[in-house]
């Protein structure tokens, strides 16, 4: 398959309808978020966790504004890497933040893979040895890798089919769960020490992981019919749909399990919530949806992530080695992405993987809003106050999250900080080396940004 053919199936202008784009967005959003995060959020903030989902939705709504404005102005842009490039040019902030986004997406894959393992093991009475969850996760990533090699039509077909089943299934779970529960009461009056502001902000930061899939909609910019109107609409509809679904599921879980049970079963709380309400069949049903959701999420994610890394490579913002592999850059970046995902899945547990992802994502998100405020505001006709509020909200959530983690698992914050320093230094060295061969087209417009 020549390089040109490889391109044609990928970028077909006007090939995505508005409903199709919404399915893509919600498909990625509902991947891991809800299956594994519900329990982790409950652990952080107690009975207030359904409210933390709503707080996360609020923050993401402010965040979405910058992405919508940029994608309206430059609809063909290849997602986040291009957005950063528009704001910061061929400089360190672009490469650094794009790589943070890349890593947060690879982390999301591992998160999905382990969630898949945790739920699947519920069919066999749990994972006593602790070995099966990573093994299942690793095999899922390898299967997704093979499907990704088979080409785009296959990916789109499989992903949209899984998407419809998954969203239908989760809605049934939420509605039946709430209907069967003795009472839909969540007692907010006594959150205990888990209800402190820092804990609530920390849980909200985790909740943002459940919504950050909306950024994948921006990646399909030029493929959407009438992108200037529909990309923004798709983002708004996807976030709204997820708010409804998450709130339903949050109340279904909270009404059927005590807080202690939610925390104890945090890696598979939806399956656990189905058990008292509807018995073993419900557990199988929930596990089946979780398996489809996580598998579909990984499929879409590997595709998007490797595409983004290939773009950064073509923009000469990241170093590239073939290691003797055949095929084009996109194939190589696919291999790197999968290998990284496999390592994380094999060696990190769920809450640590999520913690790394949220730190990287929020730092990158702040950089996007700052880029809009500082450089792009006039070009894209954006209001200054919305990105400003988005930055403040992001920093609040990040601060709360880091504070909680420093008290409970400081190691993971250490890993995040060290990784960011390593990325920054490596990029500085790489960009210094390649300074002479930077693509010329953006230099003029960014000459005055050096500071």
User: Judging by beta carbons within 10 Å of its beta carbon (0-12, 13-18, 19+), is residue 2 exposed, middle or buried?
Assistant: exposed
Residues of the chain with pLDDT below 70 are 1-15, 31-33, 75-79, 127-128, 151-157, 159-160, 180-195, 219-222, 267, 276-278, 321-330, 435-451
Question: How many other CB atoms sit within 10 Å of the CB of residue 210?
Answer: 25
For the entire predicted model, the pTM comes to 0.82
Instruction: Output the pLDDT for position 74.
Output: 78
Alpha-carbon distance 139 to 79, whole Å?
29
Instruction: Output the pLDDT for position 369.
Output: 94
Alpha-carbon distance 402 to 49, whole Å?
18
The 3-state secondary structure of the chain reads CCHHHHHHCCCCCCCECHHHHHHHHHHHHCCCHHHHHHHHHHHHHHHHHHHHHHHHHHHHHHHHHHHHHHHHHCCCCCCHHHHHHHHHCCCHHHHHHHHHHHHHHHHHHHHHHHHHHHHHHHHHCCCCCCCHHHHHHHHHHHHHHHHHHCCHHHHHHHHHHHHHHHHHHHHHHHHHHHHHCCCCCCCCCCCHHHHCHHHHHHHHHHHHHHHHHHHHHHHCHHHECCHHHHHHHHHHHHHHHHHHHHHHHHHHHHHHCCHHHHHHCHHHHHHHHHHHHHHHHHHHHHHHHHHHHHHHHHHHHHHHHHHHHHHHHHCCCCCCCCCCCCCCHHHHHHHHHHHHHHHHHHHCCHHHHHHHHHHHHHHHHHHHHHHHHHHHHHHHCCCCHHHHHHHHHHHHHHHHHHHHHHHHCHHHHHHHHHHHHHHHHHHHHHHHHCHHHCCHHHHHHHHHHCC
pLDDT 10s digits, 231-259: 888 888 988 988 888 888 887 787 777 77
Give phi and psi for 16, each to the nearest 5: -110, 125
Instruction: Output the pLDDT for position 118.
Output: 83
Closest CA to 212 of 393, 419, 32, 73: 32
Instruction: Output the pLDDT for position 420.
Output: 95
Q: Quick check: 93 and 84 in contact, CB under 8 A? A: yes
Hunting for tokens 């990241």 — which residue is that? 318
Q: Quick check: 380 and 70 in contact, CB under 8 A? A: yes
Q: Which residues pair with 224 in a beta bridge?
A: 16
Question: How many other CB atoms sit within 10 Å of the CB of residue 228?
Answer: 12
């Amino acid at each position: 398959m020549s390089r040109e053919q490889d391109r044609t199936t990928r970028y077909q202008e006007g090939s995505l309808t508005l409903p199709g784009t919404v399915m893509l967005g919600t498909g990625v959003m509902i991947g891991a978020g809800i299956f594994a995060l519900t329990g982790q959020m409950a652990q952080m903030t107690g009975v207030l966790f359904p409210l933390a989902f709503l707080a996360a939705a609020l923050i993401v709504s402010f965040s979405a504004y910058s992405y919508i404005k940029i994608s309206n102005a430059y609809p063909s842009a290849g997602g986040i890497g291009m957005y950063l490039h528009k704001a910061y040019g061929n400089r360190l902030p672009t490469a650094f933040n794009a790589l943070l986004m890349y890593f947060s997406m690879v982390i999301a894959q591992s998160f999905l893979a382990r969630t898949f393992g945790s739920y699947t093991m519920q069919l066999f009475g749990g994972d006593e040895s602790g070995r099966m969850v990573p093994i299942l996760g690793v095999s899922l990533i390898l299967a997704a890798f093979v499907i990704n090699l088979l080409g785009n039509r296959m990916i789109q077909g499989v992903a949209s089919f899984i998407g419809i089943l998954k969203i239908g299934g989760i809605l049934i779970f939420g509605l039946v769960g709430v209907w069967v529960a003795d009472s839909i009461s969540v007692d907010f009056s006594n959150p205990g020490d888990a209800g402190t502001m820092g804990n609530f902000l920390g849980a909200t930061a985790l909740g943002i992981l459940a919504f950050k899939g909306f950024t994948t909609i921006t990646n399909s910019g030029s493929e959407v019919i009438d992108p200037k109107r529909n990309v923004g609409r798709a983002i708004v509809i996807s976030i709204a749909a997820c708010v409804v679904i998450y709130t339903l599921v949050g109340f279904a879980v909270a009404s059927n399990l005590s807080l202690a049970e939610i925390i104890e079963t945090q890696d598979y709380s939806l399956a656990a919530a189905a058990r008292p309400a509807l018995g073993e069949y419900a557990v199988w049903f929930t596990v089946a949806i979780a398996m489809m959701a996580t598998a579909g999420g990984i499929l879409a994610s590997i595709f998007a992530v490797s595409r983004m890394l290939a773009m950064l490579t073509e923009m000469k913002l990241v170093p590239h080695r073939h290691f003797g592999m055949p095929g084009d850059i996109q194939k190589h970046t696919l291999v790197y992405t999968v290998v990284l995902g496999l390592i994380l899945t094999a060696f990190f547990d769920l809450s640590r993987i999520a913690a790394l992802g949220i730190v990287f994502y929020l730092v990158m998100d702040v950089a996007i809003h700052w880029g809009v405020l500082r450089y792009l505001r006039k070009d894209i006709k954006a209001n200054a106050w919305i990105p400003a509020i988005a930055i403040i909200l992001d920093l609040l959530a990040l601060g709360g999250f880091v504070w909680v983690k420093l008290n409970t698992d400081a190691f993971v914050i250490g890993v995040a900080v060290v990784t960011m320093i390593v990325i920054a230094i490596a990029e500085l060295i790489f960009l210094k080396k390649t300074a002479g061969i930077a693509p010329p087209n953006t230099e003029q417009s960014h000459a005055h940004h050096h500071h």
